[in-house]
Amino acid sequence: MTTNQPAPDGVMRLINGYWNTGIIAAAATHRLFTHLEEGAGTAAEIASRAQVSERGAQALLDGLVSIDLVTLDGGRYRNTPAASAFLVEGKPASLAGFAKLKLSHVASVTDLPEVVRVGGPLTGGETEVADNPHWEGIVPAIAAVSVPAADLGVTALNIAEAGEITILDVGGGSGIYSSTWLKANPAARAVQLDWEPINQIARRLVAEQGVGDRFTTVNGDFHTTAFGTGEYDIAVYSHIAHQESPESNIEVFTRLRESLKPGGALVIADYVVDDDRGAPAFPLLFAGEMLLKSKEGGTWRRTDYHEWLTKAGFEDITFHAAPPATVVIAR
């Protein structure tokens, strides 16, 4: 007998979505994806290499098959191509650290019903607090999140052939754009503006990439620190616009334009949603995170960026996909 009644399976899995975070983070903690990559293929082999219980290893493997990160073939488990690319440790784009970070955020979601009722964070909001120590945990873990956008910039801006360029990265965090672009162009120099403890982390990470001699940092709040006039070929503002209000974004974009040499480019990377707010999926989900963590931020639409950049004086504005982010290049 056939029925048009939908089965509850899909909704059940969505309701239990926090188990995705738990299973991926536990697997990353025990380097399960790395062990699979190196040839372990059963719960017993994983248990032995990871020094965990076989019962625990089996539960993780079951969960990972359920969410399509691991396949089972002839009794042996393997990473899917996505797990192999993004969850094995040591690869530049590895999100293993990000997965562990997100497990520590799970409890905060219990505030969401009240946050939705009042329309913002229940306490001060994490992103507005000056010099907030929360960035120190987040910044190294999210470096990998910006790898696709930094790589896209190398091509879109022809960084390798650009000669002696200077780059300003506002809220540069881990310094991932500086590392990537200074490696691509041995004549380039980069300056990062961020809070002092974050700049310390960035200097270490950029030096580890062998380009620390062309990387300098400025400590301070980007709302009140001058960017300079006509100094830079490229300015970067990545994963910051979502924590700021529209007025702040217009003000910062205006000062960034002033900081650029004639013909210079501003590169914005962020989770940008379509103008009708119908897609893409991940940026739409991220709207909840900004509601929880910022007083005035949001997942802004393409039209918002276009309007703010035009008000700031930019004339040539293009959008480039770097899923799940979008890179906006404005001149």
Ligand X SMILES: C[S@@+](CC[C@H](N)C(=O)[O-])C[C@H]1O[C@@H](n2cnc3c(N)ncnc32)[C@H](O)[C@@H]1O
Among 63, 173, 264, 297, binds ligand X (CB under 6 A): 173
Nearest approach in angstroms of CB 172 to ligand X is 5
Q: Are 217 and 242 in contact (CB under 8 A)?
A: no
Closer of 172 and 264 to ligand X (Cβ)? 172
CA dihedral 24, 8, 290, 180 (to 10 degrees): 40
User: Which residues between 25 and 84 bind ligand X (CB under 6 A)?
Assistant: none
Which ranges of 132-278 does DSSP label H, i.e. alpha helix? 134-142, 147-156, 176-184, 196-208, 246-259
- Does 239 engage in binding with ligand X (CB under 6 A)? yes
Least CB distance to ligand X at residue 22 (A): 23
Q: Indicate which single residue of 124, 223, 247, 318 sits in contact with ligand X (rule: CB under 6 A).
A: 223
Q: Which stretch binds ligand X (CB under 6 A): 40-48, 118-126, 135-143, 271-279?
A: 135-143
Q: Which of 143, 129, 183 is nearest to 160 (CA)?
A: 183
Of the candidates 296, 330, 157, 289, the one whose C-alpha atom is nearest the C-alpha of residue 223 is 296
What amino acid positions are annotated as catalytic residues?
242
| SS3 label, residue 226 | coil
Q: How far is the CB of 211 from ligand X (least distance, A)?
A: 17
How many whole angstroms separate alpha carbon 321 and alpha carbon 325? 7
The residue among 19 and 282 lying less far from ligand X, judged by its C-beta, is 282
Beta bridge partners of residue 193, listed in sequence order: 170, 218
What's phi and psi for 191, nearest 5 deg? Answer: -120, 135
Please identify which residue in 86, 135, 181, 300 interacts with ligand X, judged by CB under 6 A.
Answer: 135
Which of 77, 222, 232, 300 contacts ligand X by CB under 6 A? 222
Stretch of 42-50, 108-116, 168-176, 180-188 lying at the interface with ligand X (CB under 6 A):
168-176
Kindly report the backbone phi and psi dihedral angles of residue 220, in degrees, each rounded to the nearest multiple of 5, phi listed first: 155, 180
Task: Report the site for ligand X in 187-216 (rule: CB under 6 A).
Answer: 194-195, 198
Give yes or no for residue 238 binding ligand X (CB under 6 A).
yes
CA distance 266 to 302: 15
Report whether 256 contacts 226 (CB < 8 A): no
Smallest gap, in angstroms, from Cβ of residue 103 to ligand X? 18
- Number of residues in contact with ligand X, rule: CB under 6 A? 18
Q: Tell me which residues touch ligand X (CB under 6 A).
A: 135, 139, 142, 146, 171-174, 176, 194-195, 198, 221-223, 238-240
